[in-house]
Amino acid sequence: MLNQYPAWKYLLLILVIVFGLIYAAPNLYGEDPAVQISHRVKLINDDEVQNIKNLLQNIQIEYRSIEQGDGYILVRFKSEEQQLKAASDIKDALLEQDKSYTVALNLAPATPDWLRSINALPMYLGLDLRGGVHFLMEVDMDAAITKSLNRVSTEIRSYLRDEKVRYRSVNVSKDKLTVRFSSLDDREKGLLKLEEEFRDFIFTSTEDESSFYINLTYSEAALVTEKTAALTQNISTLKNRVNELGVAEPVIQRQGEDRVVVQLPGVQDTVRAKEILGATATLEFRLAQGSLVDWSEAERSGKVPVGAKLYEETDGSPVLLKRSIIVTGDQVVGAASGLDSQSGSPDVTITLNGKGADRMSKITRDNIGKPMGVVFIEDKYEYKEINGEKKRIKKTDQRVINVATIRDQLSKRFHITGLDSTREARDLALLLRAGALRAPMIIIEERTVGPSLGQENINKGFMSVVIGFIAVLVFMVVYYKAFGLIANIALTVNLVLLVAVLSMLQATLTLPGIAGIVLTVGMAVDANVLIFERIREEIRMGNSPQASIYAGYQKAFSTIADANITTLIVAVILFGFGTGPIQGFAVTLSIGILTSMFTAIMGTRAIVNIIYGRKNIKKLAI
């Protein structure tokens, strides 16, 4: 008989609707203002949680709940006023006890535990709705070129040695490399070899009374390439670091030749964000030179042996390391923090790439029984007033975090210890996993977008959806009567499914995204309008109600598919070529097209089959 569905189709529809209701539900609960508490050294346990409870009772601050997370305590509050007051009082009280505590503002989803256990989470809101922080960061291009020249200087030393060319030294200044030779013949031979191998450079020759020099500077094209590579790698690294911070759908875009815009929706702890985004921490592995006596003598006399460099360990004691670097943080492909099984101190497990692993293997194989140092390097910037002007001063912190005797041949994976705290180990592992910045970056502009404007946008966007939704419902009921009511049920289910899919994908909802939802509400009934008008046409042609229903759905399908597929193609193109807000609009529009086709064709047909199928009807309310 016409207009009947097998049982499995009804079961499928029921499952889809239940699924949609469950995964759309978390968006009804909103977020709780919260305070996140962590400690740089101590692990968070039940005693720490009880300590925070007692503290809140003593300072008489009401709270909604206290949860223990992975390395932190989360205290939820009923209002932002309570959150801000609690954060200030908790910070004062805790820092008076121990300076290693960190207290940060947070927004925690209020989703019930049973929903979170099945990974049912609310949609993320974009910066224009949720608030957050906006950073404008500038790449230190001078440092990028200097770092590149340092890397090339190591390659030049190795190359000249391999080619049996005698040289005295290779030095790096701000924007050039200088190779020093003892004789004119050596310089001419070196120039011939270097020009063949290093073609990105412009070579000039100079000399004085005692030495002959070759000066290498980047050509204009190579300079542009190096700067572009530095900016591109820094953007990639920033994306990795933001992913480590757990920020959903951040905006990280190039601006001009040396600047990057970073927008982090929902982030309230700007201090922590700046620590991670701007940090340039990396590692260098070098062989130690001499013994403890040599190290102390070098510190006392200030005379450092040729080919060595004097460092300080974390406890302030001196150590001499060779200038030749074994591997650097650039060659690290994996890093995980943990605790050393023997000493119980924080450690980081390092995984190197193929090139780094080969070099580490060769060096450690030939130096078993000798000490090797791990140098921790971090660039910091501060502003100082010089002659009435604020100037940016760069400070590089270099310290040896670990000196250990090489016991075995190391290769791709090994451990380093000597870190001050578990927090430092976690941060170092995060930075190494995310990759090293090719050049230091400094935040030159910071703006905090408050949630009040976002809430106003949410309210207006929600109201536009509601008004559009009600208007469509009324029109469909008035114009198509009972069939219009069926279409309205499908439209409601469509909206639920759209929200559910966006929540499952953890998509970020922005104002353009809300516009996409409003447009979907209007477009969702298009398919039903085509079907219902086709049914009316079949009835006017004298067909029976059952045959008209069947023909209406069958004959309108190709038109519906064509119209929606062309719209979907445009949405995909918008997503592929657009950025930020345009992509948000394209995502909601694409998902809305798919869910509306499902509900308009299969959903309404199922309801019509239940009401009119297997019945001898004379007239349709359409």
Alpha carbons within 13 angstroms on the beta-carbon side of residue 210 total 1
**Distance of alpha carbon 525 from alpha carbon 533, whole angstroms:** 12
- The H or E element spanning position 393 is strand 389-405
16 pLDDT band (50/70/90 cuts)? very high
Q: What is the 3-state secondary structure (H, E, C) of 514-562?
A: HHHHHHHHHHHCHHHHHHHHHHHHHHHCCCCHHHHHHHHHHHHHHHHHH
Query: CB atoms < 10 A from the CB of 58, how many?
Result: 10
CATH 3.30.70.260 location in the chain = 31-110
Region 12-41: what's the mean pLDDT? 85
Token pair of 565 as six digits: 């597929």
331 and 422 Cβ atoms separated by less than 8 Å: no
Distance of CA 351 to the CA centre of its chain: 21
- 579 backbone φψ class: left, alpha, beta (φ>0; ψ -120 to 50): beta
Query: Per-residue pLDDT for 4 more than 60?
Result: yes
**Distance of alpha carbon 414 from alpha carbon 349, whole angstroms:** 6
104-129 residue pLDDT tens: 777 778 888 888 888 888 887 777 77
120 and 63 Cβ atoms separated by less than 8 Å: no
Q: Distance of CA 366 to CAs 19, 204, 360, 361, 489, Å?
A: 62, 38, 10, 9, 76
**Distance of alpha carbon 71 from alpha carbon 543, whole angstroms:** 71
CATH 1.20.1640.10 location in the chain = 7-26+450-612
464 vs 167, residue with greater confidence: 167
**Unique residue bearing structure tokens 């193109």:** 573
Amino acid (one-letter) located at 141: M
**Distance of alpha carbon 418 from alpha carbon 27, whole angstroms:** 45
429 and 336 Cβ atoms separated by less than 8 Å: yes
CATH fit for domain 279-448, picks 3.30.1360.200, 3.40.50.1860, 3.40.50.300, 3.10.20.880: 3.30.1360.200
Query: Per-residue pLDDT for 371 more than 80?
Result: yes
- 290 backbone φψ class: left, alpha, beta (φ>0; ψ -120 to 50): left
Query: CB atoms < 10 A from the CB of 131, how many?
Result: 21
pTM: 0.57
**Distance of alpha carbon 535 from alpha carbon 531, whole angstroms:** 6
Task: Give backbone dihedrals phi and psi of 121, rounded to 5 degrees, phi first.
Answer: -125, 155
Region 85-101: what's the mean pLDDT? 76
Mean of the per-residue pLDDT values of the chain: 81
pLDDT of residue 542: 85
Q: What class does CATH assign to 7-26+450-612?
A: mainly alpha
pLDDT of residue 300: 86
418 pLDDT band (50/70/90 cuts)? low
269 and 254 Cβ atoms separated by less than 8 Å: no
Helices and strands, number each (H, E), in the chain: 18, 22
Query: Per-residue pLDDT for 433 more than 70?
Result: no
Question: What are the start-end ranges of the H helices in 181-279?
Answer: 184-197, 220-245, 270-278
CATH fit for domain 31-110, picks 3.40.50.620, 1.10.287.130, 3.40.50.880, 3.30.70.260: 3.30.70.260
Query: Per-residue pLDDT for 368 more than 60?
Result: yes
Query: Does 3.40.1710 match the CATH number of domain 141-223?
Result: no
Q: What is the 3-state secondary structure (H, E, C) of 327-345?
A: EEHHHEEEEEEEECCCCCC
- 573 backbone φψ class: left, alpha, beta (φ>0; ψ -120 to 50): alpha
* Listed range (19-23, 174-178, 321-325, 615-619) with the worst mean pLDDT: 615-619
Token pair of 306 as six digits: 């040729």
435 pLDDT band (50/70/90 cuts)? low
Token pair of 314 as six digits: 């974390």
464 vs 452, residue with greater confidence: 464
221-256 residue pLDDT tens: 999 888 888 888 788 778 776 765 556 567 788 888
500-551 residue pLDDT tens: 998 888 777 777 888 888 888 777 788 888 888 888 888 888 888 888 888 8
* Listed range (167-171, 337-341, 561-565) with the worst mean pLDDT: 337-341
Task: Give backbone dihedrals phi and psi of 231, rounded to 5 degrees, phi first.
Answer: -65, -45
9-38 CB burial, b ≥16 within 10 A, e <16:
eeeebeebbebbeebbbbbeeebbbbbbbb
pLDDT of residue 419: 65
246 vs 391, residue with greater confidence: 391
Amino acid (one-letter) located at 56: L
Task: Give backbone dihedrals phi and psi of 375, rounded to 5 degrees, phi first.
Answer: -100, 125
Task: Give backbone dihedrals phi and psi of 547, rounded to 5 degrees, phi first.
Answer: -70, -35
CATH 3.30.1360.200 location in the chain = 279-448
64 and 78 Cβ atoms separated by less than 8 Å: yes
Token pair of 177 as six digits: 């490399």
State how beta strands 318-328 and 308-312 pair.
antiparallel
Nearest residue to 466 (alpha-carbon basis) of 514, 523, 529, 503? 514
454-507 residue pLDDT tens: 567 667 777 887 888 888 888 888 888 888 888 888 888 998 999 999 888 877
Token pair of 269 as six digits: 């702890």
441 and 490 Cβ atoms separated by less than 8 Å: no
**Distance of alpha carbon 412 from alpha carbon 332, whole angstroms:** 9
104 and 35 Cβ atoms separated by less than 8 Å: yes
Query: Per-residue pLDDT for 271 more than 70?
Result: no
401 and 418 Cβ atoms separated by less than 8 Å: yes
181 vs 292, residue with greater confidence: 181
Query: CB atoms < 10 A from the CB of 416, how many?
Result: 21
State how beta strands 73-76 and 31-39 pair.
antiparallel
pLDDT of residue 20: 92
Distance of CA 147 to the CA centre of its chain: 25
DSSP 5: -
Nearest residue to 109 (alpha-carbon basis) of 190, 25, 165, 171? 25
Region 205-214: what's the mean pLDDT? 90
320 and 303 Cβ atoms separated by less than 8 Å: no
pLDDT of residue 213: 93
pLDDT of residue 392: 61
pLDDT of residue 246: 53
Q: Distance of CA 305 to CAs 294, 302, 403, Å?
A: 9, 10, 19
* Listed range (261-265, 336-340, 380-384) with the worst mean pLDDT: 380-384
* Listed range (13-17, 490-494, 532-536, 583-587) with the worst mean pLDDT: 583-587
Region 369-387: what's the mean pLDDT? 74
